[in-house]
A and B are shown apart, each in its own frame.
Chain A
C-alpha cells in the first residue's frame, strides 16, 4: 500500500523559500504524476503543482512565478519550493498521488500533511 510522508521546516521567515519533500513508500514513483496541495487556515484546498518522473511539471497559474517542483526517483522523493513567502502561504501542505482513469485525473493517495507557518 502506497504511503506518502511530507517533511520539511515547520517555520519559514517572510521573503524566504518554503521547501518540502514528500517520500513515497510501498510503491513505485515512476508510473504516476505527483502533486502538492495546500490548505490555508479556515480555507479550502488549493492545488499547487504536479510533476512526472521525467521532470515534466505543471503549476497553478496563481503561484507559477514563485513555485518549482523536482523529483528524485532514486530516493522515491519529490519536492516543492515556494519562493518569497508571505503570511498568506501559511497552511497545511499535502503531497498526493495523481491517478488516471476514464480520461481524468484525481488525487487518490494523500500524505498526512505538513503544517508550515510563515512568521518572523
Chain B
C-alpha cells in the first residue's frame, strides 16, 4: 500500500504570494496517478488537478509538478478564497489513498 505524506501541515501565506505544497509517496508512482483536491469547511472536496492537468474551471494559478516520489502543488498568486485544506491522492493497484492534507491559511 502506498502511503502519502504532505508538508507542511499548515502554510500561512499573504495574498499575492506563492504557495508551495509538498506530497511525498512511500514508493515511486506515475505522475498521472497523483491528483490534488481543495476542501473548504462544509463543502464537498473539489478536484483541482489530475496529473498535471487542471480540472474544468480551475484557474491557471494552480499548477502541479513532480515525479517519482515527490510532487508539488503550487499556487502562484494566493487569493483569500484559496484558504482551504489541500489533499493529494494517488491511485494504484485498484486502490486509492489520500495524504493527510495541508491547511493553507491566508494572513
Contacts and interface: CB of A to CB of B under 8 A. Distances in A.
Contact of B47 (A47, A58, A108, A112): A108
A11 B101 CA distance: 27
A104 B35 contact: yes
B98 A105 contact: no
Interface string B87-107: 101010011111111000000
Given A44-B100, A101-B53, A106 B89 contact: yes
Size bracket, chain A contacts: 20 to 34
A104 B91 contact: yes
Interface residues of B, number: 29
Contacts of A35: 96
Interface of B: 1, 30, 32-35, 37, 39, 43-47, 50-51, 53, 55, 85, 87, 89, 91, 94-101
